[in-house]
Structure 1
Amino acid sequence: MTAVGRGWTLRQRVVGLLAVVGVLLIGLAAAEATVAARNRSHTDALLTRTGPLRVQAQELLNALLDQETSVRGYAVSGDRQDLVPYDDGVRQEQKLIESIGRLVDDYPGIRRELDVVRAQAEQWRRTVAVPVITTVQRDGTTAAQGLIDDRTRQQFDQVRASVARLDAGIIAEREANARSIRQTGNLLVVLLVIAALVVVVAGALLLVSLERMVVRPLTGLADQVREVAEGDYQHHISGSGPPEFQQLADDVEAMRRKIAKDLTEVREARERIEWVNTQLQKQAEELVRSNRDLEQFAYVASHDLQEPLRKVASFCQLLQRRYAGQLDDRADQYIAFAVDGAQRMQRLINDLLAFSRIGRLTTGFTEVDMNKVMADVAGQTEVARQQAEAELTWSELPTIRGEEPLLTNLLTNLVSNSVKFRRPDVPPRVHVSARLVDDEWEITCQDNGIGIEPEFADKIFVIFQRLHSKDAYPGTGIGLAIVKKIVEYHGGRVWVDTDTEEGTAIRFTLPALPGDVEAARAAAEEPDGDTGATEGDESPGSTDAGEGVPARPTDMDDTATTGPTADTARDADDQRPDQATSGRTDGARETVG
């Protein structure tokens, strides 16, 4: 039976209902957008035009009053200082008239009143103020006072009346805008109510339709299928409702007729699946072995490449020293390219060897004081920090279980990265801190360098992944890959905090000692909220991690330099733990400048 013969499909009914509701809502949305635009226009006129116009009209009246009062006072005293308010009032009047003129482009009535005020004020100054001032300077105050009579007062009263009419016009426009805002606001509310009613009615219709067209037919079909599932494979299944459900019932009936036949096939399929699972297990074991062999191959290949490459590099450098200047410039350039390529290959091989050794050459996990590790890192990075005038600080760090050389290598790479990827003309500032999160220590290396854009946050931990040329920032692009492998070898994870406003914050976690976790829980359960900080520790936000008490979260120093981030990612050269180390300095915060 076709869909036409059975009536409208469920999809057609739902689409039809949604189409009608959509058209209504779109029409209401268009009307609301129009009304809202008008409302914004009236509100903008009220706030940015008529409101400031009212204030400036009052200031204009005050400026005119200052002029009139100043002229009368000067006519009495003859003191030139009494004319200062007159001069200020004239300047203020001109400034206010220009400002009002810029705001009344859409108000011709107010502009006409403003022109009247300007003309009358100019006439008053020409016929009253200027003659009085001139008479005082020429004939004295007595003669000037004779010029001020009822006629001059009436003339100034006309100016004041014109300002009052200007103010009244502004008030009228302001009230008109306020009425328009109220009207559009009420209309917007009515449209929103209508839209809500449309949604409610459409929802009710949809619920009723779903009950009749979906819920009831599905319930009946489910009851019939349940009988078949309980073992009555001869029960005939019939459907009702929309064409889709009737077609579904026909399909289920066809499936019922095949169930008995398919039981045997299911058993055979189960046996085949078990065989496939066995093969998958074997392939997984083979993949583990293959990965182990690949890692061994990388180590052996890198180790065996050292000798021939060392010979190539040595003879290239010998050519460069012996024949420099004896050949033409292009030959010297080619030799320099060969030397640089050989040296870079040596660095790449050394980095690959270091990367492959992680987890292979192990000294076993011990309890490692991260403060001592940071002291070693400070010694290993001292030369680079002195050249860059960098400052390295760290808060009190915990004691964890791990391999001290690998952890030293980890933090050395991070600190070296922070020093390398610095902003021009800004001394690098690097801070390392730790906080206990659940049963892990979250350690952060924060700097004020060029930063990392979010789209590069995952790429920088890929081996040999560089987003700079080697001329811009030296290195092989394996440093952060080593960092990630060391962290994962110790059971943690590493990521870039993309929410940092300045510089870069690389965070990684390491499992905490059970004593630290228990101490943190005990401190959290204390009723007085005591965090269990070591007595006498004057450093807020840190505790003695060596005693098994967790360090609180510690932010960067307040003196950290801020600056915009650059759209770039970073890498670091592999730093090895056998470099020179420096001793640990006691205290809740260590600083190496």
Structure 2
Amino acid sequence: MSDSFPFDHADPTLLLNNIASALSHDVRTPLRHTTQFLEFYERELAAGNIEKAADYLAVVKESVVQSYAMIDGLIGYARVGRDLDPPENADLEKLTQTAIDRVRLATEVEAIDFAFKGEAMVHGHHIQLLELFYQVFENSVLFGRPEIQPKIRVRSRKTDGGLVITIRDNGPGLPESHHKMIFDLFHKISHPNNPGGLGVGLSLARRIAELHGGSLRVAEPSDDANARGLALELILPAAIESEA
């Protein structure tokens, strides 16, 4: 991990390529539906089929809402790392606790079993790191198993390369074929708890990690035969000792 803070060295070409790819396919799809179903709406309205026309208009409204949400997601993704105060040491345990409290409010799921253990000091931008953990934790809750209480465990250890943070939930897990795709912008997995998800959260979390000079990926399988759910491995800069 570089000694200099990497927010100043983000790759703008990669960012533009990701956004261009999302615009060319994911955002254009609901816009194309809007145009198509507007034509259907006008046809049925002209024919006097009011009920059928209303059905098509409902699809148009849904597509417009989805397009706006995707554009907002792209704007948030593109703005990561901009207009920030200098990085500083932060208490990782407090960051994760604040993030899980916000997830409880946003999802209206109060009974989240959460625990943190390990090295607690990290170096970075407080607001961005809070957003990273919020997105990861919210993903665990929204894609959990509806019949059981959500459980999230965060374990942190210090290495020469920074802090290695493992985040494990008790959800249904994920097929290996999706391990890389879940971090792609607008990649969505069907789930009854979150049918309208946009597929932005983990992309945003990974981008924040990378702009800190770290990484976010699916962790290697656990040796524990009883381990269930999804485990992510997050690497972030450790606290600078002179600031501790």
Where 1:430 maps in the other structure, the secondary structure is: strand
Where 2:109 maps in the other structure, the secondary structure is: helix
Aligned to 1:402: 124
Separation (CA, whole Å) in 1 of partners of 2:14 and 2:205 = 20
Contact 1:494–1:506 under 8 Å retained in 2: yes
Where 2:199 maps in the other structure, the secondary structure is: coil
1:347 Cα deviation from its structure 2 partner: 1.0
Q: Which of these residues, 485, 488, 495, is aligned with residue 207 of structure 2?
A: 485
Unaligned runs of 5+ in 1: 1-287, 317-326, 517-545, 549-593
1:512 aligns with 2:238: yes
1:507 Cα deviation from its structure 2 partner: 1.1
Identify if the C-alpha distance between structure 1 residues 439 and 456 changes in structure 2 by more than 3 Å, giving closer, same or farther: same
Give the TM-score of the pair, scaled to structure 2.
0.72
Separation (CA, whole Å) in 1 of partners of 2:236 and 2:12 = 29
Aligned to 2:76: 354
Aligned to 1:503: 229
Higher share of residues assigned strand: 2
Aligned to 2:136: 414
Identify if the C-alpha distance between structure 1 residues 413 and 293 changes in structure 2 by more than 3 Å, giving closer, same or farther: closer
Separation (CA, whole Å) in 2 of partners of 1:289 and 1:494 = 17
Identity %: 25
Alignment of 1:135-534 (within 5 A): 291=13, 294=16, 328-384=50-106, 386-387=108-109, 389-395=111-117, 397-468=119-190, 473-500=195-222, 501-515=227-241
Which structure has the larger Rg? 1
1:423 Cα deviation from its structure 2 partner: 1.1
Identify if the C-alpha distance between structure 1 residues 376 and 397 changes in structure 2 by more than 3 Å, giving closer, same or farther: farther
Contact 1:421–1:473 under 8 Å retained in 2: no
Where 1:387 maps in the other structure, the secondary structure is: coil
Separation (CA, whole Å) in 2 of partners of 1:388 and 1:353 = 30
Greater RCO, CA 8 A, separation 6+: 2
Aligned to 2:42: none
Corresponding letter in the other structure for 2:228: E
Where 1:363 maps in the other structure, the secondary structure is: coil
Separation (CA, whole Å) in 1 of partners of 2:140 and 2:16 = 32
Corresponding letter in the other structure for 1:409: E
Aligned to 1:184: none
Give the TM-score of the pair, scaled to structure 1.
0.32
Corresponding letter in the other structure for 2:154: V
Paired residue total: 207
Separation (CA, whole Å) in 2 of partners of 1:456 and 1:437 = 28
1:398 Cα deviation from its structure 2 partner: 1.8
1:290 Cα deviation from its structure 2 partner: 7.8
Corresponding letter in the other structure for 1:448: N
Where 2:146 maps in the other structure, the secondary structure is: coil
Separation (CA, whole Å) in 1 of partners of 2:168 and 2:14 = 35
Query: 1:77-104 CA distances to partner (integer Å, 9 max, x unpaired)?
Result: xxxxxxxxxxxxxxxxxxxxxxxxxxxx
Corresponding letter in the other structure for 2:232: I
Separation (CA, whole Å) in 2 of partners of 1:460 and 1:289 = 21
